[in-house]
Structure 1
Amino acid sequence: MTPYIRMDDCDRGFDPEGRLADLEATDLKRALAPVDRVAERGYFAAPSGSDLPVLEADEALVFASNNYLGLTDDQRVQDAARQAAATVGTGAGASRLVTGDTMVHRDLERLLAETKGTDRALAFSSGYAANVGTIAALSPDVVFSDELNHASIVDGCRLSGADIVVYDHCDAASLQSKLEARADRPGADAESWLIVTDSVFSMDGTVAPLEAICTAAEAFGAWVMVDEAHATGLYADGGGVIQAKGLENRIQIQLGTLSKALASQGGYVAGDDALIEWLVNDARSFVFSTGLAPPAAAAASEALHLARHSGARERLWENVAHLCEGLESMGFEVLGDSQILPILVGDRRDALELAEAIRARDVVAPAIRPPTVPDGTSRIRVVPMATHDEDDIVTCLEAFQAAGREVGLL
């Protein structure tokens, strides 16, 4: 048997231990902390590396999840997943272009297209795969990208080989000036242009000015692609910001995930028939990936149905308003204008101390620090769920007030 070759015996290898030490020295090292369930409250384990985690004894309220509608432990969603597993199977078994395409996938895509107001939709194995695969398959000459777009958008732009032009965050005037400057370059008339933005930005809670972006795009004949990852299921009729603004006919590509408000796993692209047919044939992350697991597709379908036809959306926005008003009344600076409520702290060590003090009071709301956000803008990301009751919101507010005073931020 060939002996194991240690990392430090390789002259041209890598130094993960040194890299980890650098992260630790700058308070940037992260660790996994398992939880027993994905819901509005749960039992957490301390980081354990490769060892079996041991759950702590005290239950904590979770104000850090993207499970916005609290549907991950909804009985109806779980029953849909169980039934799909029993009747179709636990996995797709192959790429959907081989044998992995099922009626469960088609039902989800039909419902997504109906909700998003498009001809068709296509489910991917993840939101990341949807973004990377779509941008690369379009192969644009130029991509105009919001400076705070998600990493999957950034990576898709890089893989596409396009010239990448970054415009200021949520700034349609900045986008307009970038479009004008590019249009003045020789040969610009022959270029294909794609404008890409998130609709709701996950770390800032800001909402893109989609109407102004569409107006700028139309003036130059560019396509618009919007990632509704943090908006799908939360706005008009279970749609996203696009549906709330009535922009379905002005935006060529709508994306999103199934893993946030829709309580499942995977991603989707919605658009006209020709676009979806092209992605089926040329999006490498679709063509060369096993199809979305049927239980995940069925769970997302049921969650989307509940987002459209239950009171979950209304309960979420009531909790958002209550929590935001309470935090601001204490003196915290709350950013954004969505369900995501980042509390600006500034210094990363202050943010870490505040998060630890909140956690000591059995409330989970993590510190977000560089490189996820720029230096000097560390924050606590607070996100309520539809399934938090009024007592939960009050408990969260009390924890923030006591923790803020303890660490000297109030």
Structure 2
Amino acid sequence: MFDADSGTETGSGTESRSQGNHGFDPTSRLAARKQRGLRRNLSPAEDVTARTRFAPDPQGERPDFEGEGEKKLVFAANNYLGLAADGRIQRAAAEAAREVGTGAGASRLVTGDTRLHRALERDLADAKDTERALVFSSGYAANIGTITVLNPDVVFSDELNHASIVDGCRLSDAETVVYDHVDTAALADEMAAKASGGAEDERWLLVTDSVFSMDGDIAPLEALCDVAERHGAWIMVDEAHATGLYSDGGGIVQHEGLSDRVDVQLGTLSKALASQGGYVAGDEALVELLVNEARSFAYSTGLAPPAVGAAREALRLAREDKTREALWSNVERLREGLESLGYEVLGQTQVLPVLVGDRGDALALAAGLKERGIVAPAIRPPTVPAGTSRIRIAPMATHLDEDIERCLTAFEVAGEEVGLL
């Protein structure tokens, strides 16, 4: 090493490092994940349509789709309305790039706030029945930004809430009380216990997803509002897997007529709205506070104008009944078909978790489906509890009748091979 004061060599880098090893060992950690069956690999897709080809993980090289055979049917995407490859969405994105630019160029608090951002926020606020909305760079950023700005003393969080909610709770440094999944009575007990021993001036926040992405079930929002209001707590609902799929492009909050009872509504633009980013919707004061204090908003470049343009057009299409009707028709046909084969299908939404139970059986079933041209991954521990491994099916509005039949046939044949039917 070189001593800047004396101008002389003081020893080799090896000698200096021999005093201790304070580095990291990614190789060993990856090996440990592989040994536990937790090693993940990327699998590049040729496009984001309902039918595509996937290349083996190329690591740092270019994906090679040659030799991968016919396109596979994708029943694993959150592109619920199938709009990510829709020509109208693509044209809206291109028009935004031409008129405004390909990137916002700065934080929205500097120069990255455009008329497009404001137009999308007005449309979102209208769909969510709120005074105002604010667009973030991702749903993840929206969650951690909002929870930390609210700075609650206590957060009551459903045990299956999304990781971004969990991380928001951690970053807020609030006391987090995790209640049993969609169990309103358990939540009521937790709040009553805190009320009996807590300070009267504590700020309480109840946070829940509306649609849970691995179980396909719905939070009992009206009952949760009743419990929260009994204690004067705020309620925050993440509509990531519901935005755009219900009446007038809203989510479960709108479907159940609860817009005036939910204090904070969040969601993403990257699922049914086929774009990128997240949003928060609420009253004017809430949004202004987020503009001023949410670090994940202030210190991120504004959402790229093409993404804004795409999301706005997707929201417009989602508010048309026929766009949603095609999805719900496919959902009903798949659920009925799978249940008629003898499978147990959880939930009551567009997410169709086919319960298998055993981890090995779920992996074998997923492999059998893939051999028959169906992409539907096995979801296994630790993502879900032990003994509840499953295949998560997510149909799109753009799947054709023959696609649904092919999926059901694959489940029948592969299920028999694995010994599940």
TM category, shorter: over 0.9
C-alpha distance after superposition, 1:112-171 (max 9, x if no partner): 000000000000000000000000011000000000000000000110111000000011
> Does 1:220 pair with 2:245?
no
SS of equivalent to 2:287: helix
Question: For residues 5-62 of structure 1, what are the alpha-carbon distances to aligned partners after superposition, in whole Å with 9 as ceiling and x for unaligned?
Answer: 9xx9971222221221122122211100001111111011112212221112220000
From 104, 114, 121, the equivalent of 2:133 is: 121
Amino acid at match of 1:32: L
CA distance in 2, matches of 1:255, 1:4: 51
- 1:375 paired to 2:375: no
* 1:22 aligns to 2:48 (yes or no): no
Which residue in 2 is equivalent to 1:230?
A: 241
Mind listing any 5+ residue stretches in structure 1 that lack a counterpart?
A: none
Give the ranges of 4+ consecutive aligned residues of structure 1 lying more than 2 Å apart after TM superposition: 1-5
Q: How far does residue 4 in structure 1 lie from its aligned partner after superposition?
A: 11
Q: 2:57 aligns with which of 41, 47, 50?
A: 47
The answer for the alignment partner of 1:336 in structure 2 is: 347
Deviations 1:152-194 (A, max 9, x none): 000001101110000000111111011100001142x110000
Shift of residue 345, structure 1, vs aligned partner: 1.2
Partner AA of 1:122 in structure 2: L
* Partner of residue 347, structure 1: 358
* Amino acid across the alignment from 2:36: T
**2:372 matches 1:361:** yes
Note if 1:69 corresponds to 2:98. no
- Residue 275 of structure 1 is matched in structure 2 by 286
- 1:112-191 paired onto structure 2 within 5 Å: 112-187=124-199, 189-191=200-202
SS of the aligned residue for 1:98 comes to coil
Please give the secondary structure, in 1, of the residue aligned with 2:331.
helix
Structure 2: which 5+ runs fail to align? Answer: 3-11
CA shift for structure 1 position 317:
0.5
Q: Distance in 2 between matches of 1:16 and 1:209?
A: 42
Q: Name the residue aligned to 2:262.
A: 251
* Match of residue 299, structure 1, among 310, 325, 333: 310
- 1:289 corresponds, among 300, 309, 333, to 300
Shift of 1:251: 0.3
- 1:409: which partner in 2? 420
Distance in 1 between the 2:198 and 2:118 partners? Answer: 45
CA distance in 1, matches of 2:63, 2:87: 27
- Residue of structure 2 in register with 1:261 after alignment: 272
Superposed CA offset, 1:222-264 (max 9, x none): 0000000000000111100000000000000000000000000
Q: 1:172 to 1:186 in 2, by over 3 A?
A: closer
What do residues 307-328 of structure 1 show as CA deviations (whole Å, max 9, x unaligned)? 0025110110010000000001
What SS does the aligned partner of 2:237 have? strand
AA matched with 1:292: L
Aligned partner of residue 54 in structure 2, secondary structure: strand
Letter in 2 for 1:53: P
CA–CA separation in structure 2 for the residues paired with 1:42 and 1:4: 50
Q: Is 61-70 or 310-319 further displaced after alignment?
A: 310-319
SS at match of 2:82: coil
* One-letter identity of the residue aligned with 1:342: P
Are positions 1:209 and 2:220 aligned together?
Answer: yes
Cα distance in 1, alignment partners of residues 297 and 271 from structure 2: 20
Q: Which amino acid aligns with 1:141?
A: D
Distance in 1 between residues matched to 2:320 and 2:346, nearest whole Å: 30
Q: Secondary structure at the match of 1:57?
A: coil
How far is the alpha carbon of 1:389 from its aligned partner? Answer: 1.0
Deviations 1:276-311 (A, max 9, x none): 000000000001100000110110000000000251
Could you tell me how far apart the structure 2 residues matched to 1:11 and 1:173 are?
51
Residue 358 of structure 1: how far off its partner (Å) = 0.3
Q: TM-score, normalised by structure 1?
A: 0.97
Q: How does 1:84-103 map to 2 (within 5 A)?
A: 84-103=96-115
**1:346, CA displacement in angstroms?**
1.5
Alpha-carbon distance change, 142 to 237 in structure 1, aligned in 2, over 3 angstroms: same
The 1-side partners of 2:60 and 2:338 are apart by 38
Distance in 2 of aligned mates of 1:196 and 1:241: 15
> 1:33 aligns to what?
43
TM-score if structure 2 supplies the norm length? 0.94
Larger radius of gyration: 2
Structure 1 counterpart of 2:63, one-letter code? P
